[in-house]
Every structure is written in structure tokens, then in C-alpha cells.
């Protein structure tokens, strides 16, 4: 399923086993695949059951389905896959799993509207969202100081545009958006960033 390339993904620690969830490309399709690594990260073994999600959700006319954000929450793994719904806009599709290998589609975490503005606008959300990311910033336990961030890179008809992010509140299976922001104004040179939290609690983006 990845004979035409291994595309954007994430590395997680699965009980001490380095594990990558990535987009495997074959015959023009991209689907989530999994590989486990050696402790030194030098050798990798693809999961024999790849792809771990064998098709996009039924009933959605998608313009794209790729790129992953995976995290552990309340004892289960959750995953966002970037997508675009034809005639509507970008989307972050939410999945859930207990073992990273068998995934249940939960639903759209948030849907965008490509009809808001035009392609040349600095805050146009695009027709598809690539490299979605979700994280919380602020001082933990300090009332009113925390906010959730849903970041995505706006894509349209094969062209990369820019990276935007919503501030809002992630709770349960939904993200309640507040304001939409532009992450960087340097044209397309800060496209598709990803982030993680380091041991000191800092949010590191690259």
C-alpha cells in the first residue's frame, strides 16, 4: 500500500516501541499505514495488515485524505486525518483505537468552509486541510489561561497555500472554534509544520 511513497506522518511511543503512522501512497490513493522501529530508530518493520484504515469514511466525497496527528487520551489512541469534502472545504476527521492498528471512525472534529473568501486571501481556509495538528497551550490549572489550537495547512487543487490555526475548545469529539488566525505571513515557506511537547512542557514546532 506504500509502494509509491511514504508521506507525512507522526512518530509515537507505544509502550516503549517507536511506532510511525504515515500516509502510504499507491495508485493515486493515500491511506494510513503503520511501521514499528528498532530502539535506535534505524530499522523499521511495516505492519503486515497495512493500511490500518483501508478506506476513507463512507458517504463523504473527498478531495484528499492524508497526514496524521496521533495522541493518547484517557487510555485510548486518537487520530486526526486531514481531508477535504468536495464543494464544502477542509476537514479534520477523528478516529479512535485501542492498539493503533484497528481504528473506528468517530466523525469530523471540525469542518471548514472554502466559500469564506478567495484563494488569494491571507486567511482563506482552502478546499483541503493538510498536516492537521491539535494541542493545548496556556498554564495548566489556571482558570481562563488555557486554549486549544487546531492547526492546518490550506491546500487547493494541488497547490499549497499557507498555514492557519483555530483557537477554541476541544472537548469530547468536537472542537468549538473561536477565532481563525494566520500562523506565518512569509508566503508559503512555513507550510506543513508539526509540533510536539518536550519534557519541560514547551510546545516545539518545526
DSSP-assigned letters across all residues of 165-198:
EEEEEEETTEEEEEEEEES--STTTT-S--EEE-
Q: Tens digits of per-residue pLDDT, 66-106?
A: 999 999 999 999 999 999 999 999 999 999 999 999 999 99
- Residue 148 near residue 134, CB atoms below 8 Å: yes
d(CA 67, CA 30): 9
Q: Residue 46's pLDDT is what?
A: 97
Q: Residue 185's pLDDT is what?
A: 85
Q: Residue 120's pLDDT is what?
A: 85
Q: Tens digits of per-residue pLDDT, 126-152?
A: 999 999 999 999 877 777 788 999 999
Q: What is the mean pLDDT of residues 21-47?
A: 97
| Averaged pLDDT score across all residues of the chain | 94
Q: Residue 28 carries which DSSP code? A: T
| CB neighbours of residue 112 within 10 Å | 26
**How far apart, in Å, are the Cα atoms of 70 and each of 28, 132, 171?**
24, 10, 16
The b-or-e profile of 36-65 (16+ CB within 10 A means b, else e) is: eeeeeeeeeebbeebbbbeebbeebebbbb
**Distance in angstroms between the alpha carbons of the first and the last residue of the chain:** 28
Alpha helices in 20-61 (DSSP H): none
- Residue 10 near residue 21, CB atoms below 8 Å: yes
Q: Residue 145's pLDDT is what?
A: 80
Q: Which residues contact 103 (CB under 8 A, 6 or more apart)?
A: 32, 52, 53, 79, 95, 96, 97
Residue whose cell numbers read 468517530: 106
Q: Tens digits of per-residue pLDDT, 172-198?
A: 999 999 999 999 887 778 899 999 999
Q: What is the mean pLDDT of residues 59-63?
A: 95
Q: What is the mean pLDDT of residues 28-50?
A: 97
193 phi/psi in degrees, rounded to 5: -75, 160
pLDDT at residue 13 is higher than 80: yes
Amino acid at each position: 500500500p506504500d509502494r509509491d511513497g511514504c508521506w507525512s506522518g507522526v512518530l509515537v511511543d507505544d509502550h516503549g516501541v517507536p511506532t510511525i503512522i504515515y500516509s502510504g501512497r499507491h495508485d493515486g490513493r493515500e491511506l494510513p499505514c503503520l511501521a514499528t522501529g528498532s530502539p535506535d530508530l534505524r530499522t523499521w518493520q511495516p505492519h503486515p495488515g497495512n493500511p490500518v484504515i483501508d478506506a476513507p469514511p463512507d458517504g463523504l466525497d473527498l478531495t484528499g485524505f492524508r497526514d496524521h496527528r496521533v495522541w493518547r487520551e484517557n487510555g485510548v489512541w486518537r487520530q486526526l486525518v486531514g481531508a477535504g469534502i468536495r464543494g464544502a472545504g477542509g476537514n479534520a476527521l477523528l478516529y479512535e483505537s485501542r492498539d493503533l492498528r484497528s481504528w473506528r471512525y468517530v466523525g469530523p472534529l471540525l469542518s471548514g468552509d472554502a466559500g469564506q473568501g478567495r484563494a488569494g486571501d491571507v486567511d482563506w481556509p482552502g478546499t483541503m486541510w493538510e498536516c492537521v495538528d491539535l494541542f493545548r497551550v496556556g498554564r495548566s490549572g489556571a482558570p481562563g489561561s488555557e486554549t486549544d489550537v487546531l492547526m492546518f495547512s490550506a491546500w487547493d487543487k494541488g497547490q499549497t497555500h499557507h498555514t492557519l490555526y483555530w483557537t477554541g475548545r476541544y472537548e469530547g469529539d468536537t472542537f468549538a472554534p473561536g477565532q481563525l488566525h494566520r500562523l506565518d505571513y512569509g508566503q508559503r515557506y512555513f507550510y506543513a509544520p508539526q509540533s510536539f511537547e518536550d519534557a519541560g512542557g514547551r510546545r516545539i514546532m518545526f
